[in-house]
Amino acid sequence: MTPIRVLSTLAVMGAMRELATQYETETGIAIDADFAPTVALLNRLRANEPADIAILTAQGIDDLTREGLIRPGSRTDIALSYVGLAVKAGAPRPDIGSVEALTATLLAARAVAYSKIGASGIFFAGLLDRLGIADAVNARAVIVPSGFTAERLVSGQADLAVQQISELMVVPGIDVIGPLPPEVQTVATFSAGLLAASRQSENARALLRFLASEAIAPVLRRAGLEPPPAS
């Protein structure tokens, strides 16, 4: 049987790997998942890369629906994600419990790693501007073109990494300090949608129903995500 082709944002990679195995065990239908940053996936989908399901930010799914690439009415909210900070495993955990403490921690860091094109990196770049510390932090920041910022902790290139908590948790050898303070936090909704050009829409819709079920909540939480509110 042909696998269901999924193009998915990195933020849900940890959860989707476990869910794909679970789904194949339960149904016999495999999931062929390819993970990349949201912005990169949007470009690939707009270039008509074949797929059955896309998992992006809710905004990304809505944009592609308006453009005719995602079937109307198929958006399925999967998970909520929070931006957090991490250090190398065993390193001291600096205070990020308030906006003032976060600002001081970022200014004191030898180097902060964050993403160039991921949703969290775009948000964080704006946050640095709002905090008035963009020039100071960026002067020694490690801006990652794509992938997992926490890898720069393990390699020693940075001593703080910023990304969705679920993305930080994918990397071994790091410790997640916690989420950003509530006053400057952003909550991202990640959603799935059925590609208009899918050649196996029946199987893809069944997968969407699985991803919308309450049964996946424990997997989401183990991966650093939260299920969306019940509709």
Give the number of domains in the chain.
2
Same domain, 145 and 120: yes
- Please tell me whether residues 154 and 199 are part of one structural domain: no
Interacting residues of 151 by C-beta distance below 8 A, sequence separation 6+: 144, 171
How does pLDDT run across 62-73, given as a tens digit for each residue?
999 999 999 999
211 within 8 A of 78, measured Cβ to Cβ: yes
Average pLDDT for residues 219-224, to the nearest whole number? 95
Question: Do 9 and 53 sit in the same domain of this protein?
Answer: yes
Do residue 69 and residue 126 come from a single domain? no
Tell me: do 165 and 97 sit in the same domain.
yes
Average pLDDT over residues 44-55: 97
Q: Is residue 228 part of a domain?
A: no
> What pTM was computed for the model?
0.85
| Domain interval for residue 110 | 81-184
Specify whether 50 is located in the same domain as 111: no
We report the CATH number of the domain holding residue 196 as 3.40.190.10
pLDDT category of residue 119 using cuts at 50, 70 and 90: confident
Residue 68 lies in a domain: yes
Residue 191 and residue 158 share a domain: no
β-pair type (76-88, 160-164): antiparallel
Q: Could you tell me the two tokens for 21?
A: 């195995």
Q: Say if residue 92 is in the same domain as residue 107.
A: yes
To the nearest whole percent, how much of the chain has pLDDT over 70?
A: 100
- Per-residue confidence at 120, pLDDT binned at 50, 70, 90? confident
Spell out the residues 6+ positions from residue 59 whose beta carbon is closer than 8 angstroms to its own. none
Say if 216 falls within a structural domain: yes
Same domain, yes or no, for 102 and 10? no
Mean pLDDT of 42-54: 97
pLDDT, tens digit, for every residue of 81-117? 999 999 999 999 999 999 999 999 999 999 999 998 7
* Domain assignment of residue 230, yes or no: no
Which H/E stretch holds residue 217? helix 217-222
Determine the average pLDDT of the residues in 203-221: 96
* Predicted local distance difference test score (pLDDT) of residue 231: 63
Report yes or no on 52 lying in a domain.
yes
Which residues have C-beta within 8 Å of that of residue 116, sequence separation ≥ 6? 143, 144, 145, 146
Provide the residue type at 222 as one letter: R
> Which of 34-48, 91-105, 112-126, 156-170 has the weakest average pLDDT?
112-126
pLDDT at position 98 is: 97
List the helix and strand counts (H, then E) for the chain: 10, 9
Q: Are residues 70 and 89 in the same domain?
A: no
Residues 34 and 105 in one domain: no
Structural domain contains residue 125: yes
Domain-located, residue 150: yes
Task: Say yes or no: 205 and 143 in one domain.
Answer: no
Of 23-27, 121-125, 153-157, the range with the lowest mean pLDDT is 121-125
